[in-house]
Amino acid sequence: MKKLFVALLALTWVFTSSLMAAEKGWFGFGLKVEGSGFLSLTVHSVTVESIAPHSPASEQSISVGDEIIQVEEMTVPGRRAWELKPLLQKQVGETIHLRLKRQTGETYSVTLTAAKAPR
């Protein structure tokens, strides 16, 4: 009986740990995507539309109106949306590397760590 309890406890811990590890990350910015196409959207631009206070995005120099020009060294304009989507979806604790362009034309890079989304 004790061995069964220990085995169930270990199994519960593994299952719970894997659920926690798979928690969807949050960067705290809203994006506006412009593109063309019907079934396979070709992205023309991705612009930061909003930034949540106390978020990973707010802790960096990202501003509303900045355009994301690279995600994980992949150029954004001209890519298909399905190519970019998985690069933007990270688990809590994972990082994302972005290259952005300000409205002035200045470019800069940031690394954001995905946080747990506020409730």
Secondary structure of residue 89 in the 3-state scheme: coil
Q: How far apart are CA 110 and CA 99, in angstroms?
A: 7
Is 91 contained in some domain? yes
Is 87 contained in some domain? yes
Domain, as residue range, for 30: 25-113
Q: Could you tell me the CATH number of the domain that includes residue 63? A: 2.30.42.10
Is 119 contained in some domain? no
Is 40 contained in some domain? yes
pTM of the model: 0.78
Averaged pLDDT in 10-residue chunks for the chain of 119 residues: 34 39 88 90 96 96 96 96 93 97 98 94
pLDDT value at position 94? 97
Is 86 contained in some domain? yes
pLDDT value at position 119? 84
Is 38 contained in some domain? yes
pLDDT value at position 61? 87
Q: How far apart are CA 26 and CA 89, in angstroms?
A: 8
Number of domains in the chain: 1
Is 8 contained in some domain? no
58 Cβ contact partners less than 8 Å away, ≥ 6 residues apart: 28, 51, 52
